[in-house]
Every structure is written in C-alpha cells, then in structure tokens.
Chain A
Amino acid sequence: MKKRKAVYFSVLVVLLLGLFFISVNLGSLKVTYGALFRGLFVEYNETVATIYDLRFPRIIIAMITGAGLAVSGVLFQAVLKNPLADPGIIGISAGSAFVSVLIVAFFPMWYFFTPIFSFLGGILACVLVYSLSWKGGFSPLRIILVGVAVNAVFSGLMESFSAMSGQNYSGAASILNANISMKTWKDVRLLAGYVSIGLILSLFAAGRCNLLALEDKTIRSLGVNVNGLRAALSLIAVLLASITTAVAGSISFIGLIVPHIGRLFVGSDHKLLIPFSMLFGAFTMLLADTVGRLIAYPYEISAAIIMSVIGGPFFIVLLKRSDKTYGS
C-alpha cells in the first residue's frame, strides 16, 4: 500500500516537472532546452529573458493557484463533511473577488493591500454561507444551494461595480476574467508569500482534518473543541481561496475535482491527501492554463473557463453519485 502511494507521488512530481518544461517552451517564442538552461543560469539571452519575464510568472502563478485552491477544497470538504464543497462553488472566491474588484476599481491606492481585503471578502462570504445553511448541522445539499446563491450575488455585484468603474482593461478585469496572462514576478511573490503560509498551516492541520470525519460528539469526547477546529480550518481554507482569487481571479472546480481524484489514489488520510492535492492541484491548473493557451492559438482561453467546462459535468456526476452515499 505505502509503496504504491509513494509511486503515485513520484509519478505526479515527474508529470508536473514535465508539464512545466513543456509549458515554458510553448508559444511564439521558442528556444531549445539547452539554450533555456544556459540563458537562465549561465549567460544572458534575450529570448530566454523574455520568456523568464512573461511566461515564468504565469506558469508559477498557475501552479500556486492550483495548489492553493485544491487544498482549500480539501479543507472545506473536511470542515463541512461535504465532498461537494469547493471554494468556487460555495461562493468564497466570488466574495473575495468582489471585494478585490471593489478595491482595485475604487481605491487603487490600496492596491498593495488587495490580498487582505480579498481575505476579508472571503471571510464575509464564508460566514454568510455557514450561517445561512446551518440548521442543527450542515446538510450537503443546502450548503451547495446557499453557496450557489451567494456566489451569484457576489459575482453579479462584482460585474456591476467593474462595469461602473468604466475600466475595461484593468486589474479589476483581470480578476473578473481570471486572466493570468499579464502577471509579473511581483504577483508571484505576493501570491507565494501568502499561499505558502496557508499551505504550511494546512500540513500541520492534516491530523485534525482526519478527526472531522468522526461524529461531532465523538470528537468532543476526545477532548477537541469541534467548532473551534472548524473555525480555524475554515480560516486557512478562506485564506488560500481568497489570496489566489485576488491574484488569479475566481476559478471554480479545482477544489472539487483535485481532492476527489486524490482520494481515489491516496485515500482519505489528510496527511497524504493534502500534499497530494497540492501537487495535483498545481498540475491540473497548469494543464488547464497550458491547454487554454494552445487550443485556439493565437487566441487564449482562460484556465477558469477550461476548468468550468471540465468541472461542470464532473460536478454533476458527483452529485448523482452522492445521492446514494450521502443522502439528500
């Protein structure tokens, strides 16, 4: 068993690295891998420098975003005891995106603090969804329904405010359309800083996530404050979802698909599932972005759209199956 799981991890790392190098060399500028290596580490090469400034940030952002959203999904699923929870579907990303757009459009001088406002927006959405769907417990379907409504409201507000601000090609639009094609190293540093905090915390919390699969009463009898634990894990999940949204825009379904497939490979133990979801999330998002760049070249389809097209049917399949396993 253990050996097989180690193999899955190794294969995933190799696939991710492979995809990374394919993606780096995909587009109008092309160099050989030898030239790429020399340009990066040995001597200056104009083409490589351009690739380094234009393509690397986007690729790295895609990977960090994927990892963050996937882990956010794992955490929400544990906290809500709901395999269908995804920060995009339940409106957390929309709440973050709305507040981010608000800041970028109307208070550009606070641009630097966008992640913090985005985090607050995510918390707002999270509190709304939790309180509206709580009825002596979280019913899986009620959370999804409330989430869909919250998502719709925030998305609508976001688009209206973005339209009102009159800027069509701005930071606001890039959040709105989840466009990561114009990202710079500055964005990478911003994203990596906050997301790595969330990812490290999530690794420490893995053991506690496992506990949440038990009945609440049982968890309490073990000496653990369940609601405190839920709140703490939700904060980490919101942090991951909102920071990625502030930089890369609102992307749904990564947090749903990745953990689900992850469970098929490594099981429900979060000590394995969380690191696996990080890697697999990074891979999936980078794949979506790369495919989006390739499929209608020279035009680009954003990774968010690719994810929606793939994720929608996937979600329906899970929903149909969940009737059997989780009740309604």
Chain B
Amino acid sequence: MEVKNLDFSYGKEKVLNQISLKIPKGKITTLIGANGCGKSTLFKVMTKNLKAHRGSVFLEGKNINEISLKQFARQVSIVHQYNVAPNDLTVEKLIGYGRIAHGGLCKRDKAQDEKLVSWAMEVTGVTEFRDRQISGLSGGQKQRVWIAMALAQNTKILFLDEPTTYLDIRYQIEILQLIKRLNVEFGITMIVVLHDMNQAIHYSDELIAMKDGKIIAQGEPKEIASPEILKEVYDIALKVEHINGELFVLTV
C-alpha cells in the first residue's frame, strides 16, 4: 500500500498535510503519535472510511477510490477499535460475516467459506466458543473473535485500530502476540495503531511517527525510538534505555 501527497481537513483545520508513505509488504507497521496528530484520520482514509481532499491511496498500484467496497474488502480487512454485536449472535455466525465480500447473491463457495471460518477460529483460538453467544465472552475473547472475522475475509492486509485499548495487560499481550504470529506464519501485512510506546517498539517491524498531520519519521523501531524523535512526537523528554539488548522507553 502506498499513500501519496494526502491532504485532509475538517472545515478549515488541516488534519493531514502532504502525507506520503509506503507500507512494506509482509511486515507489521505501527502508527504512533500524540492524540490529535492525525493518525486516526490517516487510518480512516486508508480504510475507505473517509475520502482525502487531495492526494491518493494506492493498493497494488490502484487508487482505492476506484475500488468498490466489496473488492476492497476482499483485499483489506479491518478490525475497528469499538465493536458491537447482538447479544444472542453466536461466535461462528459472526465470524461467518467475514465471508460476505466473497461471492454474490447466487454464487457462493460454501466449502471455501466454512474452511476459512474454521481456520480463522483455529488460529485465534476461539474454536471452543464457536456456539457461544458473543455477550458471554470476556473482553479478550471478544477481541479475538473480531480479529477472526477479519481473518475470514482472507486478505493479505489487515488494519487494526488500537486493538488493545479496552483490555487489561494480560489480554493486551495475548492480542499482540496473536498479531505477531499471524504476521510471521501467514505473511499478513499489518497496519496497527498503538498507544503504548514499548508495545509498538517490540511488536512492530516498522514505525511511522506522526505529528500535526505530518509524518516525522518512518523506519525500524530502533531508529525511531530515540529521545530526539520521541521529544518531537510527544513534546516531552523521555529516556530510552537498553536492557538486555532491547530498547525500552521509560514512560514514567
């Protein structure tokens, strides 16, 4: 995926200003930045939820404005930050929704649908809940179900908007490990928005740091996690320490 010269404003306020970037294939790329830096807007433009005022987003060389929602959903899946489902819907049925973009009214490859739903449940570890109702699951389990629904779309690119926000630390790590595993085992390109600096550093291959609607830096975590860049991104001096050869940002 590639973004070229993207501009976006809400009224007079410019939220994205000449954004250009390339998302490396088969890697985990994380968007970081302070609140209001424009990363959510960029996320929305890249997922066809908002239209850019100038500039374009390209998917395999094609402008996403010219791709139908359905075609887009066959190539890109998205896990949004906030999700709701009817209380009495079962896990398997919900994950089955991921197959909607594949096949029309009449032609539907049922065997393929079932195979992918089973696979999605398997890799996210929710197979044992398949007949349970969504309302009976814990926060971490629910999040895995939403990821499974996106996986059932069988796409090469997966967007995740703050996938750990509503979870306590154990489930946060569980979800991040799942993301890493999906990336390594299946080569899915991940674009993630994360708030926690250290999680971003440890689970990403590439970081994109934003401030005031602009990209300040893009590169490997060890390049980005420098006190200078962090100071610029978050407007606060943060220490960066090496412990056992790994980088940690001291956030206290």
* Contact flags B71-87 to A (C-beta < 8 A → 1, else 0): 11110011010111111
Q: Within 8 Å CB of A53, what residues of B?
A: none
Q: Are A221 and B83 in contact (CB under 8 A)?
A: no
Please measure, in the bound complex, the distance between the C-alpha atom of A268 and the C-alpha atom of B87, giving whole angstroms: 8
Q: A214-B84, A215-B82 are in contact. Are A223 and B97 (CB under 8 A)?
A: no
Query: Which of the four size classes fits the interface of chain B?
Result: 20 to 34
Check: B217 CB closer than 8 A to any chain A CB: no
Q: Given A215-B82, A215-B84, A221-B77, list of 19 further CB < 8 A pairs?
A: A210-B86, A211-B100, A213-B84, A213-B85, A213-B86, A217-B78, A217-B80, A218-B80, A220-B49, A220-B69, A221-B73, A221-B80, A222-B98, A222-B101, A223-B69, A223-B72, A224-B69, A225-B69, A268-B86
Q: Within 8 Å CB of A220, what residues of B?
A: 48-49, 69
Check: B47 CB closer than 8 A to any chain A CB: yes
Please measure, in the bound complex, the distance between the C-alpha atom of A223 and the C-alpha atom of B69, giving whole angstroms: 5
A-B contact count (CB 8 A): 58
Check: B173 CB closer than 8 A to any chain A CB: no
Chain B residue with the shortest CB-CB distance to A263: B88
Q: Within 8 Å CB of B87, what residues of A?
A: 268
Check: B202 CB closer than 8 A to any chain A CB: no
Q: Are B88 and A221 in contact (CB under 8 A)?
A: no
Instruction: List residues of A whose CB falls within 8 A of some B CB.
Output: 210-211, 213-215, 217-218, 220-225, 267-269
Q: Within 8 Å CB of B74, what residues of A?
A: 223
Please measure, in the bound complex, the distance between the C-alpha atom of A225 and the C-alpha atom of B70, giving whole angstroms: 8
Please measure, in the bound complex, the distance between the C-alpha atom of A214 and the C-alpha atom of B98, giving whole angstroms: 12
Chain A residue with the shortest CB-CB distance to B100: A222
Q: What are 6 A-B interface contacts by the 8 Å CB criterion?
A: A218-B80, A221-B78, A222-B153, A223-B69, A223-B101, A223-B153
Check: B89 CB closer than 8 A to any chain A CB: yes
CB interface residues, B 78-111, toward A, < 8 Å = 78, 80, 82-89, 97-98, 100-101
Please measure, in the bound complex, the distance between the C-alpha atom of A46 and the C-alpha atom of B100, giving whole angstroms: 57
From B71, B74, B80, B150, residue with most partner A Cβ within 10 Å: B80
Please measure, in the bound complex, the distance between the C-alpha atom of A278 and the C-alpha atom of B100, giving whole angstroms: 27
Chain B residue with the shortest CB-CB distance to A224: B100
Q: Give 9 closest A-B pairs by Cβ, nearest first.
A: A223-B73, A223-B101, A221-B78, A223-B70, A213-B86, A268-B86, A267-B88, A222-B100, A217-B80
Please measure, in the bound complex, the distance between the C-alpha atom of A141 and the C-alpha atom of B78, giving whole angstroms: 31
